[in-house]
Amino acid sequence: EVQLVESGGGLVQPGGSLRLPCAASGFTFSDYYMDWVRQAPGKGLEWVGRIRNKANTYTTEYAASVKGRFTISRDDSKNSLYLQMNSLKTEDTAVYYCARDLGTRGGDYWGQGTLVTVSP
């Protein structure tokens, strides 16, 4: 069974940093691209970014709203995905989901999400 479990959410002050891990199981993690998606309270879904697999040299893509502040990385030896968030703003307050390869025909899977609150 495919499982994705995010953690690391919490309250952080504006300008602060936070790192969100996502633990993957039930599939060959190293084969897949991985995505982060967020959802502000009461709002719609926003794609945050993607990291490709080793075969595609772990290259990344980001939404303009987070580019230069957020970094996506992965550790295939630990079946883990990460979202490093720096220079956080109040508008980054959201539930953050990790997802397996959005758009793939093999089925995309999502974690349960972790809430990040950016507030003074």
**CA angle 2-67-27, nearest 5°?**
10
Binding letters toward another protein, positions 64-93, x by CB under 8 A: x-----------------------------
10-12 and 114-118 strand pairing:
parallel
Stretch that binds another protein, among 9-17, 20-28, 68-76, 104-112 (CB under 8 A): 104-112
User: How far is Cα 28 from Cα 55, in angstroms, rounded to an integer?
Assistant: 13
Given 18, 50, 74, 114, the residue binding another protein (CB under 8 A): 50
Nearest 10 degrees: CA dihedral of 26, 82, 36, 53?
-60
Stretch that binds another protein, among 20-28, 62-70, 75-83, 86-94 (CB under 8 A): 62-70
Given 5, 23, 47, 79, the residue binding another protein (CB under 8 A): 47
